[in-house]
Structure 1
Amino acid sequence: MKKTLPWLWLIFLCAFFLRVYNLDAVSLRGDEAFTVNFVQRTWDALWKGIRFIEPNPPGLYLALRAWVALAGASELVARFFSVWFGVLNSALIYRLAREMIPNPKIKNLAALIAALLIAFSPYQIWHSQDVRNYTLWPAVSMLALIFFWRVWRFEVGSWKLEVGNALYASRFTFYALYFLSAYLALMTFYYETFIVVAQNVFFAISFVRAGGWRDLKRAGRALARWSAAQIVLIAAYGAWILQTDRVTAYGELSAEQSVGLLDMLTRTVASFVLGDTVPDAYQHALAPIVTIALIACLIVWARQDHARAIFIALYVAVPLVGVYLTSLGRPLFSERYITGILPAYFLLIAFGLTTLWKWQIRWRAMAVALAAIFLIASAAYALANYYFNPAYAKAPDWRGVWQVIA
């Protein structure tokens, strides 16, 4: 850990620089401007708007309202709200990778690569400069996953706190931290529900695979604790759902409906890994190749660690299927609506590169170098378009328009 710390801080600094560079060079786009104005309503008007107008739960709006009240509502300051969570995502995926990968030979390197990938991700950088919830959601979602894995090791596997072997926490502490972070994630974006479902499916599969039926007393206590946590989570979340009609009555005009599952997979891979500030032809040509590479990484992971591979598969598949079913009758699919599963793709890439590097094969260095060159070149191309190509500007020059009008 001490050896990787300087590299980790360097990654965080790079992540911060890439997210503040040209932060206010472009005017707020429509959704951003609406959000900043929306959170400055009176409390009564804000709460009614969240319940009956906005398609998102209150997490973003309450947090952003506090930020605006504290720091101001200028374009630069408002976008800093997303910058902080964008940088935090690098730290959280590093921690999540260390929680998920038990192999001491690869966990540090894999965690560093995952942090590096999200730090330089064109998709994450774009949203880190956007006043919406697409950096906040992955942050609280990954935080919930970190505590989920600690609970899982308590109940199914063996657990030892990495930072100081003498430091232990009670089951109640980690259940409480899991509940709080999962609740925050659910209150940030409705589709987090599918990630929580994936956790429950994985928990059930883990008990079956671990032979929980052989020790019914222990298994019963563990399942009772987990079920109690889920019941409390459902009750707390349900209390909000009963107050709003946005879940059942909403359809997004800018979204799509009845998109095929395979298309959803390749399109999210294209957006999350390649970025959206590249030509469509570039995405269409490379997305299938990258998708196949990710599946290959999952297969390699499954050969080494069945449990984690099953989780990653569920982490991706359950939300995709959930969004697919949800969007059959209404336009409710957009790549950004599944941003919560973005860490899974970066974890797969990080694990694949690390495993390939550790293999004792002649061509490993060349293979890793080619993969690294592709990822670096792809990110550089997308970021160059984002920063410097007016064709990919996220909003028109509203300031110039206002000057003409004035």
Structure 2
Amino acid sequence: MSAASAGAWPRVAALAIVLLAFGLRVAGLGQQELRGDEAFGYFFAQRDYAEIIEATIELQEPHPVASYFVQRAWLGAAGDAELALRFPPAWFGVLAVALLLRLAMRLGFRRGPALLAMLLLAISPYAIWHAQDVRMYSMSLALTIAAVWLGIETLQRQRVAWGLAYTAAAWLALHTHYYAVFVLVALNLFVLTRAIFVPRTRANLATWIMWQMLVGALYLPWLASAASILGGYGGNGDSPALAAMVERSLSAFAVGESVPVAQRLLWAGVAALLLLIGGVRLLLGTAADRRNLWLLVLYLAVPVLAIWYSAQSRPIFNERYLVASAPPFYLLVAAAFDGRSVSRRPELLVKGVSLAALALLVAGMIFSLSHYYTNPAYSKSRGWRDLAAALTRLGTGVPDEQVRIAQNFPDPTLWYYYRGPIEHVVLPPADNDRAGAEDAVAQLAGAGVRRVILPAQPAANWDNGEIAAMALAARYDNVHG
């Protein structure tokens, strides 16, 4: 192989991986239906930019505004079909893959492991799921990688341009998801502990602190406005024990969530084995390797542990919140394959185990992706398109003003798919409000509504005890559901 071709192959490989990432993220992009959170984001982004800010604060929306701003701008240009809505997160997902290579190379990874980390993120079912979801998680993934990469560039190059770029990335990441702060905390812990134990790094500490103060100053106006949101969010996840959290987190990073729950322990074990091998290789390597190990451990562990700890007082733990910790996971796995030749039997054994575990991991990823793309049990689709068609059919034959569609849970997804003229109500009007449901039904009957269509869905937190159906049955002989 000539020197020119030897130098070109990493670029070709990187381009191929980016194209693979793009292909996997746009494959079937508009095939699956929107889920409830996606539909909520779509309607939330219908507002003007100033109104998005006002609504976020007034309605206590637990996510900041950056992704809604992107969606608002994109809607005007691309329309609101599922494929169009999901393209921005897919694009950010591809960007994250490219940025991970930049981060790996800046950390001094060899080309082989750097490309492997990039490949693992490219084919990650966990990352692909979020890249095909109209929410902020794929955008948060890309921006937090950018913040860490640019932060390392700032530390190593000590140039104003890099510091300003880091500030911008960190500020945008914080405006995309509040949990991005845990990545910045991890990065700052790395810098501060290095300053304590490696005296030669202290010379740059003051400049680094200046950049952090700039990020804080720029973010402070929003933080002051959103303080009540951060303190008042009750969560919609759960509060797992530590062992369950570790199992769920590692399994999600390894193969996503499109696998049977019974297999989580297996995939978590495979992931833990590869992390252990990668960590030991870095620990036994050069000083730069040990530096990278400390950074990646903080980058992986601080956000996960912070989210888990927060969930002990309120149910907010969910695998999707861990997305910013996926990059160090893949970098640590890739570190198990440093590309050096080995000859001693123990080293050959470790290499063989590493390769077998990697092959199993990739097989699990492919298995999970096949489920996600083709298995209805793991699809986001819940039959909303068919329901919208059925509502149109059931609403015929009666004047529109004499028909209502009643939802027993305020799920916005229905109103993305049903664009017909029939008005809708929510029964009960508040969670488990039996008296309110009875009053609302009485008002419908008094207004001359002859037909009520009730597409009931499981909603124990809103309609526990079939409140909607019972209230309607008291006034109507034929409730269509």
Q: Select the residue among 18, 38, 52 that pairs with 2:44.
A: 38
Could you tell me which residue of structure 2 aligns to residue 313 of structure 1?
A: 297
In structure 1, stretches of 5+ residues that fail to align are 155-169, 213-217
Report the AA paired with residue 111 of structure 1: A
Q: CA deviation at 1:87?
A: 1.1
Could you tell me which residue of structure 2 aligns to residue 208 of structure 1?
A: 196
Q: CA deviation at 1:44?
A: 4.2
TM-score normalised by the chain length of structure 1 = 0.88
Could you tell me which residue of structure 2 aligns to residue 273 of structure 1?
A: 254
CA contact under 8 A between 1:261 and 1:320: conserved in structure 2? no
CA contact under 8 A between 2:372 and 2:379: conserved in structure 1? yes
Is 1:47 the counterpart of 2:53 in the alignment? yes
Could you tell me which residue of structure 2 aligns to residue 248 of structure 1?
A: 231
Q: Output one character per residue of 1:303-358: Cα deviation in whole Å (capped at 9) or x when no partner.
A: 21221111111112221232133222112211111110100110011111235x64
Secondary structure of the equivalent of 1:200?
helix
Aligned partners of 1:317, 1:369: CA distance in 2, in Å?
A: 25
Q: CA deviation at 1:365?
A: 6.5
Distance 1:359 1:135, change over 3 A: farther
Aligned partners of 1:378, 1:389: CA distance in 2, in Å?
A: 15
Q: How does 1:148-159 map to 2 (within 5 A)?
A: 148-154=151-157
Could you tell me which residue of structure 2 aligns to residue 95 of structure 1?
A: 102
Could you tell me which residue of structure 2 aligns to residue 332 of structure 1?
A: 316
Could you tell me which residue of structure 2 aligns to residue 166 of structure 1?
A: none
Aligned partners of 1:239, 1:392: CA distance in 2, in Å?
A: 41
CA contact under 8 A between 1:302 and 1:310: conserved in structure 2? no
CA contact under 8 A between 2:278 and 2:332: conserved in structure 1? yes
Could you tell me which residue of structure 2 aligns to residue 117 of structure 1?
A: 120
Distance 1:59 1:360, change over 3 A: farther
Report the AA paired with residue 79 of structure 1: R
Q: How does 1:3-402 map to 2 (within 5 A)?
A: 3-53=9-59, 54-101=61-108, 107-154=110-157, 171-212=159-200, 219=202, 222-244=204-226, 245-253=228-236, 255-257=237-239, 259-304=240-285, 305-355=289-339, 358-361=341-344, 362-363=348-349, 366-402=352-388
Aligned partners of 1:395, 1:51: CA distance in 2, in Å?
A: 31
**Aligned residues: percent identity?**
32
CA contact under 8 A between 1:251 and 1:332: conserved in structure 2? yes
Could you tell me which residue of structure 2 aligns to residue 165 of structure 1?
A: none
Report the AA paired with residue 55 of structure 1: P
Secondary structure of the equivalent of 1:27?
coil
Aligned partners of 2:34, 2:20: CA distance in 1, in Å?
A: 24
In structure 2, stretches of 5+ residues that fail to align are 1-6, 393-481
Q: Output one character per residue of 1:114-168: Cα deviation in whole Å (capped at 9) or x when no partner.
A: 11101111111111111011111110111111111112224xxxxxxxxxxxxxx
Distance 1:368 1:290, change over 3 A: closer
Aligned partners of 2:315, 2:205: CA distance in 1, in Å?
A: 37
Secondary structure of the equivalent of 1:135?
helix
Which has the larger displacement, 86-95 or 369-378?
Answer: 369-378
Secondary structure of the equivalent of 2:250?
helix
CA contact under 8 A between 2:14 and 2:115: conserved in structure 1? yes
Q: Output one character per residue of 1:184-213: Cα deviation in whole Å (capped at 9) or x when no partner.
A: 11111111111111111110111222224x
Aligned partners of 2:122, 2:209: CA distance in 1, in Å?
A: 36
Report the AA paired with residue 393 of structure 1: S
CA contact under 8 A between 2:336 and 2:354: conserved in structure 1? no
Which has the larger displacement, 290-299 or 84-93?
Answer: 290-299
Q: Output one character per residue of 1:357-394: Cα deviation in whole Å (capped at 9) or x when no partner.
A: 64334457644542342122111110111111111111
Structural RMSD (CA): 1.9
CA contact under 8 A between 2:21 and 2:123: conserved in structure 1? yes
Secondary structure of the equivalent of 2:64?
coil
User: Which of the pair has the greater relative contact order for Cα pairs under 8 Å at 6+ separation?
Assistant: 1
Aligned partners of 1:124, 1:263: CA distance in 2, in Å?
A: 21
Larger C-alpha radius of gyration, 1 or 2? 2
Q: Output one character per residue of 1:75-117: Cα deviation in whole Å (capped at 9) or x when no partner.
A: 1101111111111111111111111125xxxx11111111110
Q: Output one character per residue of 1:25-69: Cα deviation in whole Å (capped at 9) or x when no partner.
A: 111111111111110123443222222332111111111111112
Could you tell me which residue of structure 1 aligns to residue 418 of structure 2?
A: none
Q: Output one character per residue of 1:273-300: Cα deviation in whole Å (capped at 9) or x when no partner.
A: 1110000011123313422431332122
Aligned partners of 1:284, 1:368: CA distance in 2, in Å?
A: 18
Which has the larger displacement, 313-322 or 188-197?
Answer: 313-322
Report the AA paired with residue 271 of structure 1: A
CA contact under 8 A between 2:34 and 2:381: conserved in structure 1? yes
TM-score normalised by the chain length of structure 2 = 0.75
- How many correspondences in the alignment? 378
Report the AA paired with residue 294 of structure 2: I
Which has the larger displacement, 285-294 or 357-366?
Answer: 357-366
Secondary structure of the equivalent of 1:26?
coil
Secondary structure of the equivalent of 1:111?
helix
Distance 1:376 1:318, change over 3 A: closer
Could you tell me which residue of structure 1 aligns to residue 428 of structure 2?
A: none
Secondary structure of the equivalent of 1:87?
helix
